[in-house]
Amino acid sequence: MLQNSLLSPRWVVPVEPAGAVLEDHCVALRDGAIEAVLPRAEAVARFPAYARIELHEHALIPGLVNAHTHAAMSLMRGLADDLPLMRWLEEHIWPAEMKHVSPEFVKDGSLLACAEMLRGGVTCFNDMYFFPAATLEAALEAGMRVSLGMIVFEFASAYGSDPDDYLAKGLALRDRWREHPLVSFCLAPHAPYSVSDDSFRKIATLAGEVDVPVHVHLHETTDEIARSLAEHGVRPLERLQRLGLLGPGLIAVHAVHLSEAEIAMLAQHGASVVHCPSSNLKLASGFAPVARMAAAGINMAIGTDGAASNNRLDMFEEMRLAALLAKAVAGDAGAMPAHAALRAATLGGAAALGLQARIGSIAPGKAADLAAVRLSGPELLPCYDPISHLVYAAGRQHVSDVWVAGRHLLRGGEFVDLTPRFPFKDLDSRSKMWQNSLRMRTGS
């Protein structure tokens, strides 16, 4: 049974309204949800029986939402670095996956990712990978909220034989788990260069029938766009529009290379963009026009991408990079201010996944997905503006406590064992086992 709690931080950063910071306030948690946000004196009088959790040096924020990742690829962290995207995929990642990926690989890799993300304040992640049932199992053992991609490729893999097989397996998984409070789903065609027109048409139809978002890599590189022009006669976004995929459920990941007309098209149709700044930099994909997208009214979210192309699942680093790069690209120091970066990492991700009514901000009635960040120590003093500190100065090492649906999963920087079998037991030894196996199979 969940304990009713009264969290008493120095600051509550609710995310909505934008830029708000509440001092001398408490957040009451009951049955896994936020019951009230109110001044401390009133909270103590109203909830005297609730367990008090004092967070005197902390900012309490909504749990971070990693809106795009490939969790299991944590086991490929550093496997093939310093390469452009298509060489990295075609010569290293896809061959390694064909030889190696299995439900066991995905389960262990996803548990490794969950441990890293929880310690960095991430409470929800949107995943795109093979064997999503294994990712689901890992996320639930870790206590995290997860949005699972019903992945689609044209080529066969250990997971699926063809696009119809991928879709059938994804939909069957959704049918089994769609009512679970911590689980949601996206249709996840990998990318325009790896999915056919016929498959995209089926996905467009299914998205309307089952009412889930469509999560796809889009306009990530100039090579992707050149290939689309050569093979289809149009740029990828126009191709998806012709195939019926452009709408409020579209989650366009990366969106680095966009014309003004394409930005307007995404905004007009209510699509979301997931910005992955570290991955874009490491793979030399380019600089996303974040300020222009935000100015057009596009919902912006933030993702880490996978640890194989980042090589961290660190949303604090992504927030900081997103804000700094937006300013440099736009030539405007006011582009993506700190509160906008924090929103993109919380409520923006929730909105992209269709979960904004449940998570993404600190408000009564929403799920108690929260993170406490200790804003103390020489690297964080003095503190004039906690939101500025969260984006520009603090790091994931300052996260002390994490709750998902009211469950206290990280306390004082240490995992809380709430399950009969601690999910992260022997994770170091299992990771080394997979590392040795990958080395032998790939020759790395």
Cα 91 from Cα 113, distance rounded (Å)? 24
- Token readout for 368 is 């108690």
CA 161 to chain centre: 28
Regarding whether 71 and 50 lie in a shared domain, the answer is: no
Regarding whether 408 and 292 lie in a shared domain, the answer is: no
Note whether residue 256 is domain-resident: yes
Cα 128 from Cα 381, distance rounded (Å)? 39
Domain of residue 129, CATH code: 3.20.20.140
Q: Which domain holds residue 26?
A: 5-62+366-412
Note whether residue 187 is domain-resident: yes
Regarding whether 313 and 189 lie in a shared domain, the answer is: yes
Regarding whether 79 and 51 lie in a shared domain, the answer is: no
Regarding whether 339 and 220 lie in a shared domain, the answer is: yes
Looking at the structure of the chain, the number of domains it has is: 2
The string of DSSP letters for 278-317 reads HHHHHTT-----HHHHHHTTPEEEE----TTSSS---HHH
pLDDT, one tens digit for every residue, the chain (444 residues): 688 999 999 999 999 999 999 999 999 999 999 999 999 999 999 999 999 999 999 999 999 999 999 999 999 898 888 888 788 888 888 787 877 789 999 999 999 999 999 999 999 999 999 999 999 999 999 999 999 999 999 999 999 999 999 999 999 999 999 999 999 999 999 999 999 999 999 999 999 999 999 999 999 999 999 999 999 999 999 999 999 999 999 999 999 999 999 999 999 999 999 999 999 999 999 999 999 999 999 999 999 999 989 999 999 999 999 999 999 999 999 999 999 999 999 999 999 999 999 999 999 999 999 999 999 999 999 999 999 999 999 999 999 999 999 999 999 999 997 565 678 888 888 888 888 877 765 555
Cα 283 from Cα 289, distance rounded (Å)? 17
Note whether residue 419 is domain-resident: no
Q: How far is CA 291 from CA 305, 337, 401, in A?
A: 21, 10, 32
- Nearest one of 212, 187, 184 to 360, comparing CA atoms: 184
Note whether residue 433 is domain-resident: no
Regarding whether 116 and 50 lie in a shared domain, the answer is: no
DSSP for residue 246: -
Regarding whether 92 and 40 lie in a shared domain, the answer is: no
Note whether residue 36 is domain-resident: yes
Regarding whether 283 and 199 lie in a shared domain, the answer is: yes
Q: Across the chain, which distance is largest between two alpha carbons, in Å?
A: 68
Regarding whether 380 and 316 lie in a shared domain, the answer is: no
Note whether residue 439 is domain-resident: no
**pTM of this prediction?**
0.96
Regarding whether 320 and 399 lie in a shared domain, the answer is: no
- Tracing tokens 């793979």 back to the chain, one arrives at 283
- Token readout for 38 is 């109110």
Say if residues 106 and 131 touch (Cβ distance below 8 Å): yes
What pLDDT does residue 441 have? 55
What pLDDT does residue 86 have? 83
Domain of residue 382, CATH code: 2.30.40.10
Regarding whether 175 and 210 lie in a shared domain, the answer is: yes
- The pair phi, psi for residue 148, each rounded to 5°, is -100, 130
What pLDDT does residue 146 have? 98
- The pair phi, psi for residue 128, each rounded to 5°, is -135, 105
Note whether residue 252 is domain-resident: yes
Regarding whether 287 and 341 lie in a shared domain, the answer is: yes
- Tracing tokens 């679970």 back to the chain, one arrives at 180
